[in-house]
Amino acid sequence: MEYFDINDPEIKSRLIVENDLAFAFPTNIPIVPGHTLICPKRHVAKMDDLTDDEIHAILLLQRKLKEAMIKAFAAEGFNYALNEGKVAGQGINHLHLHMLPRKKDDSGIFEYDPRKFLYRPGKRPESPEKELSEVAELIKNNL
C-alpha cells in the first residue's frame, strides 16, 4: 500500500469517523487495542503539505476520538505520533497521526521514554542553558 485511500475496501470496512477533509480507522498492526490512524483524505506525505483546514480537520477528529476511546477502552492517557519520511519510520507515504489509548498495565510501551526509541539509547547529560539558547537563536534566525 502506497497511501491510505478512504475508498479502499479494507479501510472502508474499518472506518470509524470522517469529516470533509480527514478520516480515522484502526491500524491493522496495533500496539494496543484501539490504536487508530487519522489521515487527511488528500494524499500528502508531510505536515508542510497540509492546509490549515486539513490540520484543523485532523485535530477535530482527534478530539472526537479521544472522548470515545476514554469510554470504549477506559483510556487514562494517550500517545500520539507522526512519522515523516522513511528515515523517521514512515512506512506508508501518506501522513497519518497515530493515536493510542493507554491505561495502566496495557501491552504497549510500559516506560514511556522517547529516548529509548526516537533517539540514541542510554543516558545523556542535560544540555547547558547556553547551548539551548544558541540552538533557539539559530532556529529563530532561520524563520
Higher pLDDT, residue 23 or 86: 23
DSSP H helices, 15-111, are 52-73
Q: Active-site positions?
A: 96
pLDDT of residue 124: 59
Query: pLDDT digit string (tens) for 3-54?
Result: 898 999 999 999 999 999 999 999 888 888 898 999 999 999 999 999 999 9
Q: What are phi and psi of 123, to 5 degrees?
A: -75, 145
Strand partners, 18: 23
102 in helix, strand or coil?
strand
Mean pLDDT of 43-69: 96
Contacts 24+ apart (CB under 8 A), 77-84: 77/102, 77/103, 78/102, 79/108, 79/109, 79/112, 82/47, 84/45, 84/46, 84/47
- In CATH, the number for domain 9-141 is 3.30.428.10
Going by pLDDT thresholds of 50, 70 and 90, the confidence category of residue 141 is confident
100 in helix, strand or coil?
strand
This prediction has a pTM of 0.79
